[in-house]
Amino acid sequence: MSKSKVPSPCIDVCKYKANGHCIGCSMTEKQKKAFKKLDGEKRKLAFLGDLLRQQATLGDFRHWHKAYARKCRKKGEPNPVERLTEGAEAA
C-alpha cells in the first residue's frame, strides 16, 4: 500500500441526531474520537470499511461518498473508499 494518509470520514456536518449517529457521516462521537487515535493506514482503512457497512445498515448516506471524495481531493489524497470498493468487487 502507498504511504498516503487516510482522511477522517468526518465531512464537517457533526449533527448527532439519528440515535447518536452523525447525519453527515454516520459516526458517533465515540467513533470520531477513536478514528483520531488510530495509527497506521491499515487500521484506518479497516475503520473506514466498518463505517461503510454501518452506513449501509443505517441507510441514506449516499451524500457522504461525494462529500468525502471532495474532501480527499482537497487534501491531495487518493480516495480510500475507491480502493475498498475495488477490493470488494474483485472478491
Report pLDDT digits (tens) over 17-28: 879 999 999 999
What is the rounded average pLDDT for all residues in the chain? 91
End-to-end CA distance of the chain: 18
pLDDT of residue 3: 61
Kindly state whether residue 4 falls inside one of the protein's structural domains: no
Asked if residue 11 belongs to a domain, the reply is no
Length of the chain: 91
In a domain, 57, yes or no: yes
**Is 74 a member of any domain?**
yes
pLDDT number for residue 13:
95
Residue 1 lies in a domain: no
At residue 68, the pLDDT reads: 98
Q: How many domains does the chain have?
A: 1
For 4-67, the three-class secondary structure string (H helix, E strand, C coil) is CCCCCCCCCCCCEEECCEECCCCCCHHHHHHHHHCCCHHHHHHHHHHHHHHHHHHCCCHHHHHH
Residue 5 within a domain: no
